[in-house]
């Protein structure tokens, strides 16, 4: 399947421009206590900067099922990825059955990948966004209801935070100090007030925090 390449934006079929309800843009991020998000899933996932601790999230994964709807699956109407995260996801989730609720949500929802390098994609329902992601994401937010969910995608997440487009943070903070590696949060042009919505914890000590921004 070839992904569309609109110049810096994507149009979602079936959503009238006059629709006044805007989607919530939510970041779903898995972090250490010191904010590191690099290499969560596997040793080879991201070795930039000589990072050698990839796969650190695996010991905590079995208990995440104790958190009810941890990524807001029930409200998600579209997924947004940076290129590297998308390629990792696209290598796994299309091959999982609908008995897995995460697979069912991602495989049957529209997906958008921000990339100036990809020219075609195989994961059904994917649109490629080229150019500056900020106006493209602003338009996607205005096109529907529910949540537009960013999974991982640290560079994109920081860009959207800086632009003031993120409405909600869903943070899964694991009981680990990494000491090195890429961190989720970087510089912002101004402070952001967070309002705590929910808190949950697992038996292995991971804390799930949902914050509204502003």
* DSSP, residue by residue, 167-208: -EEEEEEES----SS-BS----SS---EEEEEEEE-TTS-EE
Residue 10, pLDDT > 50, answer no
Number of residues that this document lists for the chain = 214
What per-residue confidence (pLDDT) applies to 2? 43
Q: How far is CA 160 from CA 50, 156, 164, 188, in A?
A: 27, 6, 6, 10
| Whole-angstrom distance, CA of residue 60 vs CA of residue 82 | 24
Kindly indicate the confidence band of residue 88, based on its pLDDT and cuts at 50, 70 and 90: very high
* CATH number, domain with residue 187: 3.40.430.10
Residue 97, pLDDT > 70, answer yes
In a domain, 177, yes or no: yes
In a domain, 10, yes or no: no
DSSP H helical segments within the chain, as ranges?
Answer: 83-90, 101-107, 133-141, 154-162
What per-residue confidence (pLDDT) applies to 71? 61
Which structural domain range is residue 200 located in? 24-34+71-213
pLDDT digits (tens, 9 = 90+) for 126-161: 999 999 999 999 999 998 899 999 999 999 999 999
In a domain, 126, yes or no: yes
Q: How many domains does the chain have?
A: 1
Of the given ranges (69-78, 95-104, 188-197), which has the lowest mean pLDDT? 69-78
pLDDT digits (tens, 9 = 90+) for 107-119: 999 999 999 999 9
Residue with token string 């979602």: 12
In a domain, 59, yes or no: no
| Whole-angstrom distance, CA of residue 204 vs CA of residue 43 | 21
In a domain, 75, yes or no: yes
Dig out the tokens for 158 from the structure. Answer: 């920081």
pLDDT digits (tens, 9 = 90+) for 45-79: 899 999 999 999 999 998 888 886 756 778 899 99
| Whole-angstrom distance, CA of residue 127 vs CA of residue 19 | 21
Q: What is the pTM of this model?
A: 0.86
């Amino acid at each position: 399947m070839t992904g569309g390449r609109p110049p810096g934006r994507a149009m979602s079929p079936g959503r009238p421009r006059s629709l006044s309800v805007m989607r919530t843009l939510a970041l779903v991020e898995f972090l250490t206590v010191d904010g590191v998000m690099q290499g969560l899933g596997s040793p080879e996932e991201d070795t930039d900067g000589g990072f050698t601790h990839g796969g650190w999230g695996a010991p905590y994964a079995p208990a995440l099922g104790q958190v009810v709807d941890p990524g807001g699956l029930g409200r998600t109407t579209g997924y947004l990825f940076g290129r590297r995260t998308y390629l990792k996801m696209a290598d796994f989730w299309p091959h999982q059955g609908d008995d897995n609720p995460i697979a069912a949500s991602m495989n049957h929802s529209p997906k958008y990948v921000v990339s100036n390098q990809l020219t075609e994609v195989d994961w059904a329902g994917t649109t490629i966004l080229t150019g500056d992601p900020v106006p493209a994401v602003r338009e996607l937010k205005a096109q529907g209801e529910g949540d537009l969910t960013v999974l991982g995608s640290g560079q994109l997440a920081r860009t959207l935070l800086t632009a003031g487009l993120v409405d909600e943070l869903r943070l899964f903070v694991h009981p680990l100090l990494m000491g090195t590696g890429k961190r989720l949060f970087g510089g912002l042009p101004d402070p952001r007030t967070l309002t705590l919505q929910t808190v949950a914890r697992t038996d292995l000590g991971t804390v799930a925090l949902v914050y509204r921004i502003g």
